[in-house]
Amino acid sequence: MSFDERIIIAGPCCAESYEQLYTVAEGLSTYFNGNKFYMRMGVWKPRTRPNSFEGYGLEALKWAEELKKHFNVSIVTEVATSKHIEDCLKHGIDEFWVGARSSSSPFVVQEIADALKGVEMRVWVKNPLSPDLSLWLGAIERLEESGKLKVGAIHRGFSLYNSYPYRNMPLWEVPIKLKCNYPHIPILCDPSHIAGNTELIPSLCQTAMDLEMDGLMVEVHPQPKVALSDSVQQLTINEFKLLLQQLVLRNKDANSGEIFARLEVLRSQLDKTDIDLISILKKRLQIVEDIGKIKKNDNLSILQSKRWQEVLHSRALDAEKTGLDPEFIRTLFSIIHTEAVKIQTKILNKGEI
Ligand code: PEP
Ligand code: MN
């Protein structure tokens, strides 16, 4: 698979001057050999705290319009109100994105959807701030229902209290679920807002490509250090070019019958192993049931925290001896333990199983 099949949107967090936009467009145009490319730019910035730089608004739209006369570029920007949409359409903006703060609010999304009724263009919906797949889907559906829009999704991570080492936690399982259940919706990854720094961007992009995401939206600035917003996470034009060169793009399907056959053999071994795993889990939970009955008869508490700590510790050690990641085994056993507690709670409190 090549970049021809992926959508790459690059550009500054925020449009800061015509010269800034021109420099980025020139760099991207050279890289993409004069072919059409997509450039992002914030025109109105949704800042977390008041009195921060909030974008140049209408002035920036005029810069964008001028830029389109010189380059084969599609301009992508964030809209949050019907007035934004009206102004952008007047100035020939090609595609919109709905930001994470806006996609968290059905009122805001509905206003955007109503303002776009009958308009034919593509709108990208960033995931809401919290890892709520229904809220994300709901925003996508509101826009799809408005008639003629092509709607895509952007994964930009989730704002959790502690997202270290990321600015926003990737929680890849959420976009994976979106992709598996709604394959018609293209998904881009925005590594800049997930990472919050430049160091983590390459590995995030590689993960996104390995998960068959449809493309990337990356913040690129001629001089990130002096950027008026998100200065620590923007790549220089050269860093961005290097990033694309270093990404490994893999094939969706096996490209020969022989490789396909080898995969099939291994996959049938996996299927059989999973059946064994399920029956072993069933056996383990039956023992949990027997223990539950003894606890009920002897009026013993369900959680024996000392014993549970010992189990967790020894399973992690056993895992390490076999070369498995002890953290993975701790997580797995925590899930199994939650199920065990649920089963014993039923036995002790409701007398049922
Ligand atoms: C942005 O892309 O500039 C932005 C504000 O992103 P998000 O809505 O993901 O925070
Ligand atoms: Mn930004």
Interatomic CA distance for residues 213 and 185, integer angstroms: 10
* pLDDT attached to residue 110: 98
Please tell me if the CB atom of residue 221 comes closer than 6 angstroms to any atom of ligand 1.
Answer: no
Which ligand places an atom closest to the C-alpha of 129?
Answer: 1
pLDDT above 70 (res 1): no
CA of 13 to the centre of ligand 2 (A): 4
Which ranges in 40-189 belong to alpha helices (H)? Answer: 58-70, 82-90, 100-103, 106-115, 133-144, 173-181
Name residues whose C-beta falls within 8 Å of residue 172's C-beta, 6 or more positions apart in sequence.
Answer: 207, 211
Indicate which atom in ligand 1 lies nearest the CA of residue 157. 9
Strand partners, 187: 153
Please tell me if the CB atom of residue 156 comes closer than 6 angstroms to any atom of ligand 1.
Answer: yes
Interatomic CA distance for residues 108 and 118, integer angstroms: 18
Please tell me if the CB atom of residue 188 comes closer than 6 angstroms to any atom of ligand 1.
Answer: no
* pLDDT attached to residue 48: 84
Interatomic CA distance for residues 196 and 200, integer angstroms: 8
Token duo for residue 294: 């003894």
What is the average pLDDT value for the chain, to the nearest integer? 95
* pLDDT attached to residue 4: 73
Percent of the chain's residues with pLDDT above 70: 98
Please tell me if the CB atom of residue 126 comes closer than 6 angstroms to any atom of ligand 1.
Answer: yes
* pLDDT attached to residue 2: 63
Please tell me if the CB atom of residue 42 comes closer than 6 angstroms to any atom of ligand 1.
Answer: yes
CA of 36 to the centre of ligand 1 (A): 24
**pLDDT, tens digit, 9 for 90 and up, residues 166-224:** 999 999 999 999 999 999 999 999 999 999 999 999 999 999 999 999 999 999 999 99
**pLDDT, tens digit, 9 for 90 and up, residues 110-145:** 999 999 999 999 999 999 999 999 999 999 999 999
Angle at 174 between CA 190 and CA 217, to 5 degrees: 10
pLDDT band at 271 (very low <50, low <70, confident <90, very high): very high
Please tell me if the CB atom of residue 165 comes closer than 6 angstroms to any atom of ligand 1.
Answer: no
pLDDT above 90 (res 255): no
CA of 185 to the centre of ligand 2 (A): 23
Indicate which atom in ligand 1 lies nearest the CA of residue 45. 5
Residue to substitute in 124, 126, 154, 192 for testing ligand 1 pocket (most ligand atoms within 8 angstroms of CB): 126
Give nearest CA residue, ligand 1 atom 9.
100
Which ligand places an atom closest to the C-alpha of 221?
Answer: 2
Calculate the alpha carbon distances from 90 to 65, 85, 116, 150, 246 in Å: 10, 9, 13, 20, 39
pLDDT above 70 (res 352): no
pLDDT above 60 (res 158): yes
* pLDDT attached to residue 156: 98
pLDDT above 60 (res 94): yes
Eight-state DSSP code of residue 339: H
b/e 214-229 (16+ beta carbons within 10 angstroms → b): bbbbbbbbbebeebbb
Give nearest CA residue, ligand 1 atom 4.
99
CA of 193 to the centre of ligand 1 (A): 7
b/e 29-39 (16+ beta carbons within 10 angstroms → b): bebbeeeebbb
Eight-state DSSP code of residue 350: I
**pLDDT, tens digit, 9 for 90 and up, residues 281-301:** 999 999 999 999 999 999 999
CA of 214 to the centre of ligand 2 (A): 20
Please tell me if the CB atom of residue 142 comes closer than 6 angstroms to any atom of ligand 1.
Answer: no
pLDDT band at 43 (very low <50, low <70, confident <90, very high): very high
Strand partners, 75: 39
Indicate which atom in ligand 1 lies nearest the CA of residue 192. 2
Which ligand places an atom closest to the C-alpha of 97?
Answer: 1
Please tell me if the CB atom of residue 228 comes closer than 6 angstroms to any atom of ligand 1.
Answer: no
Contact 89, 68 (CB under 8 A): no
* pLDDT attached to residue 252: 79
